[in-house]
Structure 1
Amino acid sequence: MAGAAVGGILTTEEARRVRTYVAAQRSPSIRVAEPVTVGQPAPARARLSPLPASVGLRNPYRYSIVNDRTVLVDPRTGRIVEIIE
């Protein structure tokens, strides 16, 4: 399913808002060989950027673009909580 969120913590609307915001930022993607999956630590080279309050998420997640996929990271644990396609 195109545009699907993998992990399921965001609503469809929240995922859409994140996609829209991240696309507007034109952040570069990093390439990593290891699998990027929910529950794993964010890659060490990932630059974690904050999402503004205007995106409207309940939690203060950070995001990065890894292998051309938007990943949301819990800043307290450093673990990937959602992958937005």
Structure 2
Amino acid sequence: MYKKILVTSALLATLAPAAAFAQSGGAAAGAATGAVGGAIVGGPVGAAVGGVTGAIVGGIADQQKPEFRQYVTTQSVPSYTYKEEVRVGAVLPESGVVYHEVPAQYNVKGYRYTVVNDTPVLVEPSTRKIVQVIR
């Protein structure tokens, strides 16, 4: 049992850089990373759950980013002025930021978008944490 935990830990540590890449690689990279991590920990069922979770974390796919930026522009969403760096993991303030539904075609159910310092971002609504910066 100890050996299995040790091997699993080593493999997950190896996957950490791939998980970081999932932010820039979009949903496909997130799904792949999640499936591999899930398979290591939970076998076939873990791979299925990890793949779905990874796809959610992956955000908007790279090939859809220009289309999404254009969509946001057509919505005339006002930009919130943020004094900190606009980056993944930054937590937006409780008041003053307006969040909008992401259209279903972008496959990021459960997230909202807003514009911060003229840059569209995806946000996890319950934590107000930026999960993807759309450049």
- TM-score, normalized by the shorter chain, greater than 0.5: yes
Structure 1 segments unaligned to the other structure (5+ residues) = 1-6
Let me know the Cα RMSD of the aligned residues. 1.8
What do residues 32-58 of structure 1 show as CA deviations (whole Å, max 9, x unaligned)?
Answer: 2122210121233221111122x3314
Q: CA deviation at 1:22?
A: 0.6
CA contact (8 A) 2:112 2:125 kept: yes
Higher helix fraction (1 or 2): 2
Give the total of aligned pairs.
Answer: 78
The CA distance in 2 between the partners of 1:61 and 1:49, in whole Å, is 9
Q: Say which structure, 1 or 2, has more relative contact order (CA 8 Å, 6+ apart).
A: 1
Tell me the SS of whatever aligns to 1:33: coil
TM-score using structure 1 length: 0.75
Higher strand fraction (1 or 2): 1
Instruction: Name 2:106's counterpart in structure 1.
Output: 56
Tell me the SS of whatever aligns to 1:22: helix
Paired-residue identity, %? 35
TM-score using structure 2 length: 0.50
Structure 2 segments unaligned to the other structure (5+ residues) = 1-22, 25-57
